[in-house]
């Protein structure tokens, strides 16, 4: 029985390492994407997607290291807040840019709905 | 391992900084600031593990909120040129009553 | 203490001084009032960084003392005067601090943190009053550039004399 | 019997108040400020502010016997021993300034009612008096504290309150906002330089208590950190006290402020910053060391002389009266700085005496202008014409204060200038004496210009069309006349019996230079 | 000043170096850019990165405040003020550039001159770290039973400084009230609406934003109170909690409009709160006075055990600070959003 616990114990740190590095990789990829992509909307896409993925992976990794302590609860709370706010913020940025008639590089700028002069809600 | 992640996050933050400085469009800058904030939150969590003190996570939690509020303020500022207009109307009591009466 | 060790020891101060001077430069050189206040913010924040780098102790931890004082006796009478004049308390303190910091754990110096908490709040208070003034200046002169304001004043004075 | 019982009841309160007077001097106005925010009805807020400032003055008077008796008082906040806690240390130097600031607070409040009712709209008077009380608390806090960082905190309270009070003048003159903004930027740069200085001192000594710092850096006056700290504190406080090259914010700030604020600030704000510089230079740093000596002779003395001459010349060309008086304030500050830079007991005593007398002169002059503006809407020098006939008493007091500014014998100004000359000759600074004389001659010109328009010109015909200032009700204008006459009388009284200010100034100078940080 | 301490270089110095590099980049960028919006954003980033640096320098409380106040509230305030002004600053005139460059060079030289005698970084035997600082670390626990030495020094040993600081905030709140007023009439007539809110766009229901912030706001207020009462054990205290709770109300105002926020937290309550906090703080001090000891002495608050008295005193002043800071931040926000001159497109 104790060997299973030991294996789990060692595996825990190994798994945490994998999560952390994976998360780090995603965040770095997103950052490079934001820098190199030509147009606002593509950058937004790069930042939004990788942020959420990267943050979940990194926070999971840290929670594995922290184990069942108050610290993990705080990390979970940070994860929850990031999970709630960062997509919302990205949505809000996209909405505002769209309303400010920012033209995407490819494709045409089209109102979301016929006859709605300012572009309506979602 | 944690140290490697910290370095990666710092690299990502510097890239975001580059986008913030170069960003031709205004909204590129908004995007850069917002994602710089999220990456700082992650950096704070990982860094507080690196130095072995649990307090950095509190600050990360705080800045996750502040970053959201800042971005909403920026967007409202550019979208409506006013901070005090209601972004979305809460259905006031009489509309709810009307809706209630109708359904 | 050769050049490299000196540099390693004092590099923080040099960077903080450069940041301070950048902040001061922004405040003095710009004519735009909002940029002036931002420069003031940068200047004050870098002064706070000078204070905090002073207080860091190598290998120290944030000054949150662990609850159980393992055995280190505390001669402090609770809260009352020591009776000793400030002169020899200073000598006693410097003497016995070298060996065992607080119950075996090294902590960073808490005083700069206390001072800077006050400094940050004072900085925000000044920023708020400055921005309120900018709002009113903008309403009266329709611009927040010092040149436009001086121009408007010059015209008003000329009109008054004419 | 009731007398004994009453006395029995009062005595414990008096002794309790006596021992706890140091914090109460600052805390009463500090806590009265927030209460004043709610008193909307105009006169109620004014009455509350007046009562509080009189109470503060009483607390300062309670301090006097203790300081004169045993040299200095030390009061530990929260009973923590000094290097740990904050300590209030009062000796004859800050007692003199405390007396001055609280007395001017009471006088400007008594004087200010008609002016406030004339210039500040009804809804904002409660908050105006709250800001005034907080400014008073801040100035008293800077004067009384013995802790280096505490000086910065209370300096900020008084500065922010002053920026707000100056910007309140915008109802009368729209340029008040710009003046307040420039004052804010220059003041914050000054305060931040001061914080850098205190930080460097802390880096060199390890404590924040002034007496403790002095003890720790006594031997290290060649240490570069201590020298840099000295330079930054002198520049920071120089900005706050409008020392010559850093004075550009003061004229427009005092000219645009509401007249009651002008009266209070002209006689106290820069004086408190000057006190802080004297306290730091003489109590914390060692005045004897070569570096400080060099700074005295090469920096402070030339700045003082430059201030005396250049600002007096600028005062000549001013049209707006308050700007003229503001420039002459900077010139008079040059006198005090000259006294300080001599570094001798006689010099510092003369500088402090001039500080006391200047508060009387400038307070009376600003009151005179405020009183006249009630009747005739005075902003420029020409508006003063015919004041001799229309308001004889105000004109008389204004003349007495003007003569005292010039330093004509029979007035207090002469006394302090005389001691300054004596101290300068003792130091062998003949060029300082020459500057004193030139500056006094220039003062004769710009004061003479005002007196001449007052007495020799015809009063403006009060034509219906010209929008004259609303006639202040007779009762309050009498109320305003009282302090003005009192100040003018003080200008004369302190010529004959200068024992009180002179005694305190000499005791302060001896305490500073004689025993160092005794 | 013992000169023989050599600062060891380890893994953390690399992180410090990168943070310093970022600070320098942001500082120089603020100097060169003239687009005010970018400057405001860079100022927020600057104080955020310096908050990170404070964390690595073991100043956790300061990092907390700097992140909450410097990066959060200042950005919203700057936006509030910037809203009413043009978007690009005029470049500085060359003569002024050179003049300020020389002034800055002189001040910098004075500071560099002093660097040589400064104790090296992290030296435990340097004057500041070996004298009163260490005495606080030793005495704080037995005296006040509060682990977070910064909170105990802030509130009890140097409590008078914090009273001064709370009065600074009150003065600033008072100033903004006097200069801008808190809404309602501007010289007689109700505020002109910059945009008539009835057009189709304003009816847009940002359901996503509304739902998310409805979930977030109670959590933020709860977190604020956690920070307030957790202040004795970890980073936190009256200031940070006040700012967090104020930012929760500001978020509510941003989403549901300032009028809804004014209905929830009326300006009168906010004005009373600003004054009340300072009175609570001063009152605790006077309580010590009345119970026979010096001003701001908490030992006498509980006759049985002095440390408990200290805890009681520190708790009550932190609450006073919380009320004042929260109310003043709202006073300032109401003040900025109450002024609403219409912005011509020229500026936009």
pLDDT in tens, D271-321: 999 999 999 988 888 777 777 788 888 888 888 899 889 999 988 888 888
Q: Do C49 and E50 touch (CB under 8 A)?
A: yes
Strand-pairing partners, residue C57, are E122
Per-residue pLDDT tens digits for A7-61: 877 788 888 889 999 999 999 999 998 888 888 888 888 888 888 889 999 999 9
Distances (CA, A) of B69 to A79, B78, E251, E339: 17, 14, 6, 21
A neighbour chains, 3+ CB pairs within 8 Å: B, E
Nearest CA distance, A51 vs chain B (angstrom): 7
Nearest CA in chain A to B65: A81
Q: Between E34 and C119, whose confidence is greater?
A: C119
Q: Quote the tokens at residue E329.
A: 């931040």
Taking residue D291's Cβ as centre, other Cβ atoms within 10 Å add up to 17
∠ CA(C14), CA(C16), CA(C22), 5° rounding?
Answer: 105
Assess contact for E159 and D77: CB atoms under 8 A.
yes
Identify from C8, C52, C98, C110 which residue to disrupt to test chain E contact, counting E C-beta atoms within 10 A and taking the largest count: C110
Nearest CA distance, E291 vs chain B (angstrom): 38
Instruction: Return the H-helix or E-strand segment holding C147.
Output: helix C146-161
Per-residue pLDDT tens digits for E318-345: 999 999 999 999 999 888 887 765 444 4
Q: Between A109 and D126, whose confidence is greater?
A: D126
Q: Do A34 and B45 touch (CB under 8 A)?
A: no
Q: How many residues does chain D have?
A: 518
Q: What whole-number distance in Å separates Cα of residue D212 and Cα of residue C122?
A: 26
Q: Identify the three-state secondary structure at position D65.
A: helix
Q: Quote the tokens at residue E270.
A: 């906010």
Assess contact for E1 and D223: CB atoms under 8 A.
yes
Q: Between D476 and D329, whose confidence is greater?
A: D329
Q: What whole-number distance in Å separates Cα of residue D301 and Cα of residue D334?
A: 9
Assess contact for E236 and E325: CB atoms under 8 A.
no
Identify from E162, E164, E179 which residue to disrupt to test chain D contact, counting D C-beta atoms within 10 A and taking the largest count: E164
Q: What is the mean pLDDT of residues C104-129?
A: 90
Distances (CA, A) of E1 to A6, B72, C47, D226, D304: 51, 50, 22, 12, 36
Query: In the structure, what pLDDT confidence band is assigned to residue D141 with cuts at 50, 70 and 90?
Result: very high
**Residue C139, in any domain of the structure:** yes
Query: In the structure, what pLDDT confidence band is assigned to residue A108 with cuts at 50, 70 and 90?
Result: low
> Any CB–CB contact under 8 A between C112 and chain E?
yes
Residue partners of D327: CB distance under 8 A and separation at least 6: D251, D311, D312, D314, D315, D318
- Taking each helix axis as running N to C, give the angle between helix C111-141 and helix C146-161, from 0 to 180 degrees, rounded to the nearest 10: 40
Residue partners of E310: CB distance under 8 A and separation at least 6: C79, E143, E144, E145, E146, E152, E156, E298, E299, E301
Least confident stretch, A28-32, C63-67, D243-247, D395-399: C63-67
Helix, strand, coil fractions of chain D, as percent rounded to 5:
80, 5, 15
Assess contact for D36 and D131: CB atoms under 8 A.
no
Per the structure, the complete domain to which residue C102 belongs is given by: 3-61+89-161
Residues of chain E positioned with their CB less than 8 A from the CB of B26: 37
Q: Between E168 and B98, whose confidence is greater?
A: E168
pLDDT in the model for residue D173: 81
Q: Do E208 and A91 touch (CB under 8 A)?
A: yes
ipTM of the complex: 0.90
Whether pLDDT at E185 is above 60: no
Residues of chain A positioned with their CB less than 8 A from the CB of E248: none
- Taking each helix axis as running N to C, give the angle between helix E132-144 and helix E306-338, from 0 to 180 degrees, rounded to the nearest 10: 110
Q: What is the mean pLDDT of residues C79-100?
A: 40
pLDDT in the model for residue A89: 83
**B 44-103 → E contacts, CB under 8 A:** 44, 47-48, 51, 53-56, 58-59, 61-63, 65-66, 68-70, 72-74, 76-77, 80-90
Q: Do B9 and A92 touch (CB under 8 A)?
A: no
Instruction: Return the H-helix or E-strand segment holding E172.
Output: helix E159-180
For E223-264, the DSSP string reads HHHHHHHGGGTSS--HHHHHHHHHHHHHHHHHHH-HHHHHHH
Strand-pairing partners, residue E35, are E88
Per-residue pLDDT tens digits for C19-74: 999 999 999 998 888 899 999 999 999 999 999 998 888 878 888 887 644 333 33
End-to-end Cα, chain D, rounded Å: 46
Q: Between E183 and C157, whose confidence is greater?
A: C157
Q: What is the mean pLDDT of residues D252-266?
A: 89
Assess contact for D130 and D34: CB atoms under 8 A.
yes
Whether pLDDT at D234 is above 70: yes
Query: In the structure, what pLDDT confidence band is assigned to residue D161 with cuts at 50, 70 and 90?
Result: very high
Q: Is the pair D, A in contact (3+ CB pairs within 8 Å)?
A: no
Whether pLDDT at B87 is above 70: no
Whether pLDDT at E198 is above 50: no
Whether pLDDT at B95 is above 70: no
Q: Quote the tokens at residue E75.
A: 């950005």
pLDDT in the model for residue B83: 62
Residues of chain B positioned with their CB less than 8 A from the CB of C62: 53, 55
Q: Quote the tokens at residue E21.
A: 């590099």
Sign of the C-alpha dihedral computed for residues D170, D176, D177 and D181 taken in this order: negative
Query: In the structure, what pLDDT confidence band is assigned to residue C1 with cuts at 50, 70 and 90?
Result: low
Q: What whole-number distance in Å separates Cα of residue D59 and Cα of residue D24?
A: 7
Per the structure, the complete domain to which residue E265 belongs is given by: 151-348
Distances (CA, A) of B9 to A29, A48, D392, E15, E160: 11, 16, 78, 11, 41
Whether pLDDT at D137 is above 50: yes
Per-residue pLDDT tens digits for D359-381: 988 988 888 888 888 777 777 87
Assess contact for B27 and B75: CB atoms under 8 A.
no
Q: What is the mean pLDDT of residues E243-256?
A: 90
Query: In the structure, what pLDDT confidence band is assigned to residue C103 with cuts at 50, 70 and 90?
Result: low
Of E84, E130, E171, E68, the residue nearest E348 (C-alpha): E84
Q: What whole-number distance in Å separates Cα of residue D415 and Cα of residue D403?
A: 12
Whether pLDDT at D154 is above 90: yes
Q: What whole-number distance in Å separates Cα of residue B69 and Cα of residue B76?
A: 11
**C 58-97 → E contacts, CB under 8 A:** 58-67, 69, 74, 76, 78-79, 90, 93-94, 97
DSSP E301: G
Assess contact for B59 and E67: CB atoms under 8 A.
yes
Q: What is the mean pLDDT of residues D189-195?
A: 95
E neighbour chains, 3+ CB pairs within 8 Å: A, B, C, D
Q: What is the 3-state secondary structure (H, E, C) of D330-369?
A: HHHHHHHHHHHHHCCHHHHHHHHHHHHHHHHHHHHHHHHH
Number of structural domains chain A divides into: 1
> Any CB–CB contact under 8 A between A34 and chain B?
yes
Least confident stretch, B72-86, B87-101, D146-160, E209-223: B87-101
pLDDT in the model for residue D450: 86
Nearest CA distance, E292 vs chain C (angstrom): 14
Least confident stretch, B10-24, D378-392, E223-237: D378-392
Q: What whole-number distance in Å separates Cα of residue E180 and Cα of residue E282?
A: 27
> Any CB–CB contact under 8 A between D27 and chain E?
yes
Domain boundaries, chain B: 2-84
Strand-pairing partners, residue D320, are D380
Q: Quote the tokens at residue A89.
A: 């913020």
Q: What whole-number distance in Å separates Cα of residue E93 and Cα of residue E42?
A: 23
> Any CB–CB contact under 8 A between B2 and chain A?
yes
Assess contact for D304 and D335: CB atoms under 8 A.
yes
pLDDT in the model for residue C116: 93
Query: In the structure, what pLDDT confidence band is assigned to residue D174 with cuts at 50, 70 and 90?
Result: confident
Q: Quote the tokens at residue E295.
A: 């001003």
**Residue C155, in any domain of the structure:** yes
Q: What whole-number distance in Å separates Cα of residue B55 and Cα of residue D412?
A: 62
Query: In the structure, what pLDDT confidence band is assigned to residue B54 with cuts at 50, 70 and 90?
Result: confident
Q: What whole-number distance in Å separates Cα of residue D114 and Cα of residue E282?
A: 32
Per-residue pLDDT tens digits for E84-127: 566 677 777 888 888 889 999 999 998 988 888 888 887 777 77
Residues of chain E positioned with their CB less than 8 A from the CB of C147: 90
Q: Do D184 and C140 touch (CB under 8 A)?
A: no
Q: Do A85 and E212 touch (CB under 8 A)?
A: yes
Rounded to the nearest integer, the mean pLDDT of chain D is 85
Q: What is the mean pLDDT of residues E192-213?
A: 58
B23-27, B92-96, D157-161, range with greatest mean pLDDT: D157-161
pLDDT in the model for residue D52: 93
**Residue C96, in any domain of the structure:** yes
Q: Identify the three-state secondary structure at position D87.
A: strand
Rounded to the nearest integer, the mean pLDDT of chain C is 77
Distances (CA, A) of E34 to B18, B74, E47, E93: 17, 18, 19, 13
Q: Quote the tokens at residue B100.
A: 């209630």
């Amino acid at each position: 029985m104790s060997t299973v616990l030991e294996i789990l114990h060692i595996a825990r740190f190994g798994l945490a390492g994998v999560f952390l590095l994976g998360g780090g990789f995603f965040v770095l990829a997103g950052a490079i994407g934001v820098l190199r992509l030509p147009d606002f909307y593509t950058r937004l896409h790069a930042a939004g997607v990788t942020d959420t993925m990267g943050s979940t992976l990194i926070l999971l990794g840290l929670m594995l290291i922290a184990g069942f302590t108050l610290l993990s609860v705080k990390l979970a709370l940070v994860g929850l807040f990031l999970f709630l706010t960062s997509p919302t913020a990205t949505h809000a940025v996209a909405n505002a840019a769209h309303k400010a008639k920012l033209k995407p590089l490819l494709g045409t700028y089209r109102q979301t709905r016929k006859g709605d002069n300012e572009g309506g809600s979602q | 391992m944690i140290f490697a992640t910290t370095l990666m996050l710092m690299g990502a933050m510097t890239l975001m900084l580059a986008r913030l400085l170069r960003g031709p469009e205004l909204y590129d800058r908004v995007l850069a600031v917002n994602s710089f904030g999220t990456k700082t939150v992650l950096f704070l969590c990982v860094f507080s593990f690196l130095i072995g003190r649990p307090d950095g996570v509190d600050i990360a939690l705080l800045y996750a909120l502040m970053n959201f509020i800042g971005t909403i303020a920026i967007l409202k500022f550019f979208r409506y040129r006013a901070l005090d207009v209601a972004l979305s109307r809460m259905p006031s009591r009489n509309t709810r009553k009307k809706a209630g009466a109708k359904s | 203490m050769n050049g490299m060790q000196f540099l390693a020891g004092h590099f923080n101060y040099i960077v903080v001084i450069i940041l301070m001077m950048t902040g001061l430069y922004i405040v003095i050189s710009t004519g735009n009032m909002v940029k002036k206040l931002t420069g003031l913010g940068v200047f004050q924040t870098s002064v706070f960084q000078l204070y905090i780098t002073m207080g860091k102790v190598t290998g120290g931890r944030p000054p949150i003392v662990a609850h159980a004082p393992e055995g280190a006796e505390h001669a402090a009478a609770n809260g009352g005067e020591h009776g000793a004049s400030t002169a020899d308390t200073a000598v006693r303190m410097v003497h016995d601090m070298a060996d065992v910091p607080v119950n075996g754990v090294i902590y960073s110096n808490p005083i700069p943190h206390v001072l800077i908490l006050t400094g940050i709040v004072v900085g925000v208070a000044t920023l708020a009053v400055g921005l309120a003034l900018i709002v009113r200046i903008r309403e009266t002169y329709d611009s927040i550039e010092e040149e436009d304001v001086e121009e408007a004043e010059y015209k008003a004075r000329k009109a008054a004399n004419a | 019997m009731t007398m004994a019982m009453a006395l029995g009841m009062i005595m414990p309160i008096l002794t309790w108040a006596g021992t706890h007077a140091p914090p109460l001097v600052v805390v009463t106005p500090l806590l009265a400020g927030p209460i004043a925010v709610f008193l909307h009805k105009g006169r109620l807020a004014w009455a509350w502010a007046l009562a509080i400032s009189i109470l503060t003055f009483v607390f300062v008077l309670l301090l006097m016997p203790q300081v004169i008796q045993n040299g200095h008082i030390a009061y530990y906040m929260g009973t923590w021993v000094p290097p740990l806690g904050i300590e209030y240390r009062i000796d004859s130097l800050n007692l003199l300034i405390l007396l001055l600031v609280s007395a001017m607070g009471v006088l400007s409040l008594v004087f200010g009612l008609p002016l406030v009712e004339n210039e500040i709209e009804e809804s904002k008077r409660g908050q105006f008096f709250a800001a005034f009380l907080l400014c008073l608390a801040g100035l008293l806090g800077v004067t009384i504290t013995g802790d280096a960082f505490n000086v910065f905190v209370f300096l900020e309270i008084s500065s922010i309150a002053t920026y707000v009070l100056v910007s309140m003048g915008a109802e009368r003159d729209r340029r008040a906002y710009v003046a307040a903004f420039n004052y804010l930027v220059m003041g914050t740069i000054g305060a931040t330089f001061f914080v850098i200085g205190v930080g460097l001192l802390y880096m060199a000594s390890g404590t924040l208590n002034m007496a403790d710092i002095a003890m720790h850096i006594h031997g290290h006056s060649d240490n570069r950190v201590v020298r840099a700290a000295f330079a930054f504190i002198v520049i920071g406080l120089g900005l706050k006290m409008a020392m010559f090259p850093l004075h550009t914010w003061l004229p427009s700030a005092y000219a645009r402020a509401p007249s009651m604020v002008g009266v209070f600030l002209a006689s106290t704000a820069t004086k408190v910053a000057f006190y802080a510089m004297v306290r730091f230079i003489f109590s914390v740093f060692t005045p004897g060391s070569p570096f400080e000596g060099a700074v005295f002779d090469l920096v402070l003395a030339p700045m003082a002389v430059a201030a005396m001459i250049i600002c007096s010349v600028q005062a000549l060309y001013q049209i707006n009266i308050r700007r003229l008086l503001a420039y002459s304030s900077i010139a008079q500050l040059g006198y005090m700085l000259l006294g300080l830079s001599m570094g001798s007991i006689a010099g510092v005593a003369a500088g402090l005496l001039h500080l006391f007398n200047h508060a009387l002169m400038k307070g009376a002059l600003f009151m005179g202008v405020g009183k006249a503006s009630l009747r005739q809407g005075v902003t420029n020098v020409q508006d003063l014409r015919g004041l001799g006939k229309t308001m004889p008493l105000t004109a008389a007091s204004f003349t007495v204060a003007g003569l005292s500014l010039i330093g004509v014998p029979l007035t207090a100004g002469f006394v302090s200038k005389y001691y300054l000359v004596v101290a300068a000759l003792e130091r062998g600074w003949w060029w300082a004496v020459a500057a004193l004389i030139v500056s006094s001659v220039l003062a004769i010109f710009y004061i003479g210009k005002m007196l001449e328009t007052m007495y020799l010109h015809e009063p403006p015909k009060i034509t219906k069309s010209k929008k004259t200032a609303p006639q202040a009700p007779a009762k309050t204008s009498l109320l305003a006349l009282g302090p003005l006459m009192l100040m003018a009388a003080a200008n004369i009284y302190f010529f004959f019996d200068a024992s009180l200010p002179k005694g305190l100034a000499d005791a302060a100078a001896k305490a500073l230079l004689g025993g160092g940080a005794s | 000043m013992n000169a023989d301490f050599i600062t060891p270089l380890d893994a953390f110095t690399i992180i410090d170096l990168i943070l310093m590099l970022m600070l320098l980049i942001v500082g120089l960028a603020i100097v060169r850019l003239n687009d005010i919006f970018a400057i405001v954003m860079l100022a927020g980033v600057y104080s955020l990165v310096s908050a990170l640096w404070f964390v690595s320098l073991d100043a956790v409380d300061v990092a907390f405040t700097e992140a909450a106040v410097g990066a959060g509230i200042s950005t919203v305030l700057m936006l509030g003020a910037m809203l009413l002004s043009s978007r690009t600053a005029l470049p500085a005139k060359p003569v002024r550039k050179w003049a300020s460059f020389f002034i800055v060079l002189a001040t910098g030289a004075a500071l560099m001159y002093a660097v040589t005698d400064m104790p090296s970084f992290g030296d435990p035997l340097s004057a500041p770290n070996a004298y009163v600082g260490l005495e606080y670390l030793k005495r704080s626990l037995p005296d006040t039973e509060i682990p977070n030495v910064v909170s105990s020094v802030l509130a009890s040993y140097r409590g008078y400084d914090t009273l001064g600081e709370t009065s600074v905030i009150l003065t600033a709140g008072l100033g903004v009230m006097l200069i801008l007023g808190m809404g309602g009439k501007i010289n007689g007539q109700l505020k002109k609406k910059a945009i008539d809110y009835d057009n189709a766009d304003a009816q847009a229901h940002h359901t996503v934003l509304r739902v998310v912030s409805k979930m977030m706001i109670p959590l933020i207020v709860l977190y604020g109170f956690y920070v307030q009462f957790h202040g004795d054990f970890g980073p936190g205290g009256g200031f940070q909690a006040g700012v967090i709770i104020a930012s929760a109300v500001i978020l509510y105002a941003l989403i549901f409009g300032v009028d809804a926020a004014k209905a929830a937290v009326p300006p009168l309550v906010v004005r009373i709160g600003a004054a009340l906090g300072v009175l609570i703080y001063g009152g605790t001090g006077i309580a010590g006075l009345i119970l026979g000891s010096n001003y701001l002495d908490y030992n006498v608050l509980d006759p049985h055990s002095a440390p408990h008295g200290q805890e009681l005193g520190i708790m009550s002043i932190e609450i006073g600070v919380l009320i004042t800071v929260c109310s003043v931040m709202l006073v300032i926000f109401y003040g900025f959003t109450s002024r609403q001159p219409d912005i011509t497109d020229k500026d936009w």
